[in-house]
Amino acid sequence: MPAFKFRKLFGSPKKFIERWRGQFQFDVGIDLGTANTLVYVKDKGVIINEPSVVAMNKKTGKVLAIGTEAKKMVGKTPAHIVASRPLVDGVISDFEVTEEMLTYFINKARDGKFSHLAKPRVLVGIPSGVTDVEKKAVQEATLNGGAGEAYLIEEPIAAAIGARLPIQEAGGNMIVDIGGGTSEIAVISLGGAVVAESLRVGGDKMNENIISYVRENFNLLLGEKTAEDVKIAIGSAYRLEKPIKIAIRGRDLITGLPKELEITDADIRQAIQKSVRAIVNSIKNVLEKTPPELLGDIMRKGIIMAGGGSLVRGFDKLISEQTKMPVKVMEDPLTAVVRGTGIVLEDIDELKSLMIDTYADDNKPKW
């Protein structure tokens, strides 16, 4: 077809290609967690929930597995294969491996014969206490991982949106998001955090507490996965009406041989009390700094808990007792942040002000 006829029918070739690619454009929300990564695709919902683990061959430098398959290798690999998490306390500790992981998840989110023709627009949830350098690192890793545009949103904001709290109204909304690496506590009003604290204490620290407690009190060495399984099975932050116990297996530090023993919920409660106390104290600090006008709203609505740590038995009851306020665990707290990114993506024109703008004004992509 002659060039002049093409321009008459379709406009400039560049604009034609942009319109054609736009037919296959898709938006992705990612909760880039220390323990798990969740992916939301616009109009499809949460389609991926896998561990933030990458297994790599140190001899060749090749990635062997990512996500669920890599998690199966933790603690079971030979010396030259390392299965590790590229994020620590909610921030990137290994940039190149994080890129590989994001590439894997973004490619897995692609669905459709022609979706590879367009790079997705990606919204990533990050802890509220990260530095500008850490924000840029997440954004660059997302772009290098296959995103066409990368935007960021603070996790407490995303979690509050995921909980369907009216955060854009003039009223107090308090969210406590206890993740794997961090705990985010924020009082939100008019679309922004009035008071917020980001604590680098979460589910992973509780696992470490359990490993240390069992080693010191029972001379038994546990693996990280076993500690997490114990926390899920019998972990509690408040005394239970019916005590529960579980058998655990590890290595006896005295004999060096395998050993099995029973441990109770009271033991685990004592083991994780330091981390639990740190989170409760941080919640109290936020409440002390909250303007009195907003405290009345929070007392009426209650403190909303999100994240995997909120599922620890009796945690909501303990916080309620300590703060003298009602506390509610939101429905499906594990997906709070990623569902919040999805809600923003579904109505980006109205909610884009809630995102962190790290692009220069003269080079700002258009949604």
Q: Is the model's pLDDT at 13 over the cut of 60? A: no
Share of the chain above pLDDT 70, in %: 88
DSSP 119: P
Q: Which residue has the tokens 């500690």?
A: 227
pLDDT digits (tens, 9 = 90+) for 58-116: 888 899 999 999 988 887 888 889 888 999 887 888 899 999 999 999 988 876 544 55
| Domain residue spans of the chain | 23-157+337-360, 171-201+274-330, 203-272
Do 23-157+337-360 and 203-272 show the same overall fold? no
Confidence of residue 359 (pLDDT cuts 50, 70, 90): low
Domain over 203-272 is classified CATH 3.30.450.20: no
Supply the DSSP string of 120-177, one letter for each residue. PEEEEEE-TT--HHHHHHHHHHHHHTT-SEEEEEEHHHHHHHHTT--TTSSS-EEEEE
Length of the chain in terms of residues written: 367
pLDDT digits (tens, 9 = 90+) for 266-298: 999 999 999 999 999 999 999 999 999 999 999
Q: What is the pTM of this model?
A: 0.86
pLDDT digits (tens, 9 = 90+) for 158-212: 999 999 999 999 999 999 999 999 999 999 999 999 999 999 999 999 999 999 9
Report domain 171-201+274-330's class. alpha beta
Q: Is the model's pLDDT at 248 over the cut of 80? A: yes
Domain over 23-157+337-360 is classified CATH 3.30.420.40: yes
Tokens coding 184: 């985010």
Q: What is the pLDDT of residue 21?
A: 46
Mean residue pLDDT across the chain = 88
